[in-house]
Structure 1
């Protein structure tokens, strides 16, 4: 591969300078291999030498396909995919390696369909070809296409299998990961580690531990995966046990253990481990810094101690300043950060949102080079909380990405809170039709809205759908809304039966709602029972219950 420009003494040299009198391709290939020039920052593609190289090669030499392949690799490596494609199409007789290089180049750039077109041009794909195409689909999450290629392979191998195992795991299809793992003919420590990672990605810590215990060979990666898995699951003692059992530790090990302590609030243990670390990197400092979020001074000290800052550490510090109300300092960190990603832009926008500076937040939002669903939903939620319904609707309907629960919940709550209850109910129905599962807070909002404007049957249908269709366990607040709905509809007995069916002791809100419904419909028996239960056990000093019971008795 040509990684750097052909140079001598800092001066570019043409391929013909290195050719033997006969212009043999062996000599031409050797010239490329001989001068990788790791200290040079230029390549054939970057230095503007590609055209000259190709022209010279046509006139005075017959470069082999190996030479062309090296140029393609160099162009692709330096991000010049168009040039790589141009060279590839000009090769007189490309070999299978040429096709494999282009498949990989397209895949790394996310052009999976272009990679497939190149793959389809190969008359006899090699194992490398199949692996490259499977990896291309797996990387982009194209599970059906990747699975189809996997099935067409003459012989399944661990490279392709691992790629699809992890792709399925990232999409939550752990059963498919297990199926591929069992089918691998050449199972090895890498495939076992991949299955271990598949379990931990999906939070199956116990399954991961069972697999870990069955592994005959373990690498440091195996142990690190388990330390990290236990830390993410909040099982700090188990993470500590694995860490202390390890015969060999690397920096990743120490960082995984540090994160296990820090993210679960064991700051003293994290500080102790930090001091014991033989080597630290920016991840070490960032992990402890984010764990020390309650102490801004300590976080600032760690940030200043870092040997270098990256976008992750800077974004973490920006977020900590914003959470503590130090907007100016948060902005200063952002300005001083040399590179930004979507997370740092989101953090800056939220820093303004926390101060209710919506115009400034909007300026950041508009200026973001790219926006993810978090950015859209955060901006929408900010407008919703401040009653800017026109802006809420405008943002919601222009979101380019799939709307998530936050976006839907924000617009539904905004319209319900500011009196547009019918609109909020329509939006809730639309959300369900689009296949988005409602969150509990959103359900409570709509139930309450139905209750307040008398859409009693609508509210009851929603409650039944939430329980039966979405298998959402109703919260106490939602149950209270349903009691109110039944009570307003005059179905006092059903409301009373619901209260009696609770697996928990009814509280003042639930019994008070039942008492209010009994007063409304002059149901003395139910009202007496609710008031007695409220005053004798739940809240003996509840004056409203005394008044409600007295009114009920007087009215009857």
Structure 2
């Protein structure tokens, strides 16, 4: 007899014929045969102690055999245990057998569905409870509001008011959480402000709300005012900084947390690894790695993938691969992070080989996998391979291309000089192209000197209000390259009129566990004087090696000398100079740049790697460049 039927039918007398269909008697049930009169509290204890479904079923069978299956307390405990063991089908079947369930039965079954994100079912039980005249209590509301969507949450808020539970701290905190997650900052703040005693949970919910919706400073104000903080609340704040591109502040906060002896958990470490990846702070990333190893934190697929991602973004592909090979149950996210890592560094062969391995092992690729593969093809200029994967994605795996896939294809075609093909692809897309996509094509027009097509696209973007700062910069680049200074001036005026700001070039370098950031012409660094002395020296070496500055890329209609000066103080050159004076001779210099590296800096970095005998790794917005002995891993194709 199947278990579901066993739960819902009256218990049959046990005969030799049907004994075999019950579970084999465990030690517990064998023991019970001698103690027919086990008191309910002993049975309740046995149910509570059951850690698996195989332990629980014999006890349930025993209850049915001895007519104790309708005992309210035992039945309630069984229902709860089935829920906690993720057997909702059993606990729901039990619930339906219960005669006149009270508020505790209802609350338990509502809670069981809510924790498994089955909100509709939880709400159905709540409605059923009201129609049967059972009044909810504060725990019912806390249970049903747990991760509840905002619309039903609002309706439940009015129910809580009606039953007078809106002032209960737990109910109020749960409501605050509903509004915070749903993005209704105003309602969340109103609830928070009218709370007489603000618990740690409600403070954390409010900080989460601010951080999630971009008001990181508002979140920090609340955070700083807290008397006690647990690890969850530190995590929310560190994550808030990381999510909004303020990774340096995230890492500063993490160090404070360690200084106050707050023990980080897996969530903390995943967030910190993400911040290290954004900044290229490999030393701190390594420290986190050793912390995981030495503090008994489980090296699971999530931690492993975060480490692969961090090492790849910090330019240490060997470490990324070592960690990747250590991950036991690799899921598609783990495979993707390694494929994207190889693509980022321009290791196209390795990315494609990994893709083949992954498919051979029966792991299904996702849209992210194809972003990795297509960008790997773009870095190598493999047009036919790119088209092959683009079609494979749709035809073989039924993955509809997203804007990012089109972006990779336009980048691939554009850089390989197939401008008309790229333009056709954009025009025939099923989804609306965004400014980034057009910007990619504009960049390719500039690269191949096709100013005609570039102007057509740019004018179109400006007229449709789709132009962003990048579009304007590319357009003025195109005009400047063609020597059309009137055009450049017109674009500058349009930018000022539209309040468009050029994103300033910023380069960062990690020295002794601290990340130093430089803007072009920066004088804010405490070691500015030494940096500029080093810069002068670098230019003497460069001139001795026959270097001439590429002043044609400077976008101002100014004299040659000023153009040369403006090139000399680009942010990555300052970062390299700082790296040279701050590290041991022969040590690798790693730099992270927020924009695409310019051709002059690229030439300079190649020469510096040759002159100093150092490896210089630069991560720009597009990819990694490994400069060794005068040549770059990108083969001057970036």
Query: In structure 2, what is the equivalent of residue 423 of structure 1?
Result: 388
User: In structure 2, do the counterparts of structure 1 residues 326 and 236 end up closer, same or farther at CA, with 3 Å as the change threshold?
Assistant: closer
Q: In structure 2, which of residues 327, 332, 335 is the aligned counterpart of residue 368 of structure 1?
A: 327
State whether structure 2 residue 422 is matched by structure 1 residue 465. Answer: no
- Whole-angstrom distance in 1 between the partners of 2:343 and 2:111: 42
Structure 1 residues 177-234: Cα deviation after superposition (integer angstroms, max 9, x where no partner): 2233334443333332212112223444333113334557765643453345445556
| Pair 1:429–1:290, CA change in 2 (3 A) | same
Residue 181 of structure 1 contacts residue 191 of structure 1 at CA under 8 Å; is this kept in 2? no
What is the rounded CA distance, in whole Å, between the counterparts of 1:137 and 1:403 in structure 2?
31
Match of 1:393 in 2: 355
* 1:369-518 equivalence runs, <5 A: 369-371=328-330, 374-385=333-344, 386-387=347-348, 388-394=350-356, 397=359, 406-418=368-380, 419=382, 420-426=385-391, 434=399, 438-439=403-404, 442-449=405-412, 451=414, 452-453=417-418, 454-455=420-421, 456-462=423-429, 465-467=431-433, 474=436, 477-478=439-440, 480=442, 496-502=459-465, 507-510=472-475
> Residue 147 of structure 2 aligns to a residue in which SS?
helix
**Matched-pair contact (CA < 8 Å) for 1:134–1:163:** yes
Match of 1:85 in 2: 57
The Cα of 1:330 is off from its aligned counterpart by 5.5
Q: Does 1:291 align with 2:252?
A: yes
Per the normalisation by structure 2, the TM-score is: 0.55
Q: Name the structure 2 match of 1:533.
A: 487
Matched, 1:72 2:37: no
Cα deviation per residue 1:129-155 (whole Å; 9 max; x = unaligned)? 332222222222233433443443335
CA–CA separation in structure 2 for the residues paired with 1:306 and 1:446: 49
Using CA pairs under 8 Å that are at least 6 residues apart, name the structure with larger relative contact order, 1 or 2: 2
2:153 corresponds to 1:177: yes
Q: Answer yes or no: is the 8 Å Cα contact 2:311–2:320 preserved in 1.
A: yes
Gaps of 5+ in 2: 1-24, 243-247, 493-554, 560-638
Classify 1:100/1:208 alpha carbon distance in 2 versus 1 (closer, same or farther; 3 Å).
same
Matched, 1:138 2:114: yes
Of 193-202 and 489-498, more deviation after overlay is shown by 489-498
Aligned residues: 438
Give CA deviations for 1:33-56 in whole Å, capped at 9, x if unaligned: xxxxxxxxxxxxxxxxx9666545
Counterpart in the other structure of 2:38: 63
What is the TM-score when the length of structure 1 is the normalising length?
Answer: 0.62
For 1:55 and 1:123, the matched residues in 2 are separated by 30
List aligned pairs for 1:248-263, cutoff 5 A: 249-252=227-230, 256=233, 260=237
Distance change in 2, residues 1:396/1:263 (3 Å): same
TM-aligned CA deviation for residue 64 of structure 1:
3.2
Equivalent position of 1:336 in the other structure: 294
Equivalent residues in 2 for 1:293-312, closer than 5 Å? 303=258, 306=261, 311=266
Aligned-residue offset at 1:82:
1.3
1:410: Cα distance to partner?
1.5
**Partner Cα distance (1:459, 1:86) in 2:** 64
Mapped pair 1:199 → 2:175: no
| 1:283-320 deviation line (CA, Å, top 9, x unaligned) | xxxx9994356xxxx67xx7587486755667778886
Gaps of 5+ in 1: 1-49, 266-286, 517-526, 544-556
Please say if residues 85 and 102 of structure 1, whose CA atoms lie closer than 8 Å, have aligned partners that are also in contact.
Answer: no
Contact 1:131-1:160 at 8 Å conserved across structures: yes
- For 2:474 and 2:438, locate their aligned partners in 1 and report how far apart those are by CA, in whole Å: 9
Q: Secondary structure at the match of 1:168?
A: coil
- How far apart are 1:401 and its partner, in Å? 8.3
Determine the C-alpha separation between the residues in 1 that align with 2:451 and 2:273: 50
Cα offsets for 1:53-112 (capped at 9, x unmatched): 65454335512334322211112xxx2331122111211221343333233223223333
Q: Does 1:211 align with 2:191?
A: yes
Taking the aligned partners of 1:490 and 1:256, their CA distance within structure 2 comes to: 52
| 3-state SS of 1:340 partner | coil
Q: Deviations over 1:458-503 (max 9, x none)?
A: 22122x7235xxxx56576257379899x89979767644444446
Note if contact 1:227-1:243 (Cα within 8 Å) is conserved in structure 2.
yes
Closer, same or farther: CA 203–130 of 1 in aligned 2, 3 Å = same
- 1:7 matched residue in structure 2: none
- 2:102: which partner in 1? 126
Measure the CA separation in 2 of the matches of 1:221 and 1:213.
14
Question: Is the contact made by 1:234 and 1:264 (CA closer than 8 Å) also made in structure 2?
Answer: no
- Change over 3 Å in CA distance of 1:219–1:402 after alignment to 2: farther
